[in-house]
Amino acid sequence: MEKSIESIWKQGFLNNDALVAPKLNDLYNQKSMHLIDKFKRMFKINLNLIVAGSIMFLGISFLIGIPFMGIGFFLTLTVIVVVNRRLSRGLSKIDKSESSYHYIKAFDDWLREQVSVNRKMAGFYYPLFFLSMVLGFWYASFDGKQPGEALTNKLISTYPDQDLVFGVPIIVIIGVILVTVFLAYFGGRIYNWDLKVVYGDVLKKLDEIITDMEELRN
Amino acid sequence: MPYSAIIIKICRAYTNTQEDFEDYYQEVCLQIWKTRNNFRGQAEWSTWVYRLSLNVNLTLMKKKSNHRYATTESLPDELGESSQAFADESLNQLYDAIKLLSEVDRGVILLYLEEKTYQEIADITGTNPNNIGVRIKRIKERLKKLLDGKVN
């Protein structure tokens, strides 16, 4: 009996054997390579952007009269870039000829070390950024006027009894110390948040692949 | 892999050997994984999988210049591995005939057989829904001819 193409199609696929998916031997390898290459690209671009941004800001800071801020940012960012460039050498040492699982685990280990070093550094560099900003504005020169001096005069006229330390009102020093301590204490958490914003997607995929692969291995 | 049936059906229509089929299947899976965040929910997930699977297959076909059956009017002299891909002989013959169609017609008829509406077929293939009906009729006539009266 003649059959229509529609019935051939339906009956042909009634048997589940017709739809056996092939084994994906290389899929995890390709996923790992793709993910790690993507991370390397992002990492390199971010470091280059930091270098370019810090140099540009240094120049601008002198032009607009906030050189302390420019120098502070430049020095802090330079340290971050140098440390991360050194860390990235470890990335190129990961052996691509390893199995996908070992390759991605080696990458994960490298990433954990990189995150741990940066998290520790964050406790220093966030306060340094803040101090650079404060110093930058305090000693800025806008049309020959210093905002720090103007603020000191205003505070003295409002609270005439307060002490000055090196010409800076004690209330300002206490405020700056409190914020600096806060940033030093929470630097690691701020870094985690920062990391999530920039690399969150890649890190999530990395975790998924490792979980998938570990399930397959067990 | 969810919706692997869709991917299998499409990849079978665009490949002639088991090796190519596995490569194409893997590439579609990889592309779905890579681009899954691009799925914005404007269409159903299955529609998105159909579209992506077809696009990947078309791209791979172009890359591999795997057009050897596309312009011939007769069935291949020798049956390739793909002809034995399914236990059902009629399905194998239907697939062989589908492989003789142009790349776009293969996509259209696969979607028709998967009971997609004309609008969905047009959305997935990027064609005009008004022409889909006529096109399907023409493709079915061609398939009947290719299957040499084995179908009605």
The one-character DSSP state at A145 is B
| pLDDT tens per residue, range A123-164 | 999 999 999 999 998 888 887 788 888 888 888 888 888 788
Nearest to A111 by CA among A180, A13, A42: A42
Q: Is the ipTM of this complex over 0.90?
A: no
Distance from CA of B65 to the nearest CA of A (A): 23
Boundaries of every domain in chain A: 24-217
Report which residue type is found at B63. Answer: K
At B69, is the secondary structure helix, strand, or coil?
Answer: coil
Q: How far is it, in rounded angstroms, from Cα A108 to Cα A39?
A: 11
Distance from CA of A95 to the nearest CA of B (A): 23
With contact defined as beta carbons under 8 Å apart, do A143 and A65 qualify?
A: no
With contact defined as beta carbons under 8 Å apart, do B94 and B147 qualify?
A: yes
The one-character DSSP state at B82 is G
With contact defined as beta carbons under 8 Å apart, do B79 and B104 qualify?
A: no
| pLDDT tens per residue, range B52-63 | 899 888 888 877
Q: Select from A5, A21, A27 the Cβ nearest to the Cβ of B151.
A: A5
Query: Which of A8, A11, A35, A201 to substitute to test the interface with B, most B CBs within 10 Å?
Result: A8
User: pTM of the predicted model, to two decimals?
Assistant: 0.54
CATH topology of domain B4-69+77-146: Butyryl-CoA Dehydrogenase, subunit A; domain 3 (1.20.140)
| pLDDT tens per residue, range B60-84 | 887 775 444 444 433 444 334 445 6
Per-residue model confidence (pLDDT) at position B87: 75
Chain B residues within 8 A of A30 when measuring between CB atoms: 26, 30
Residue B6 tokens read as 């869709």
Boundaries of every domain in chain B: 4-69+77-146
Q: How far is it, in rounded angstroms, from Cα A30 to Cα A9?
A: 33
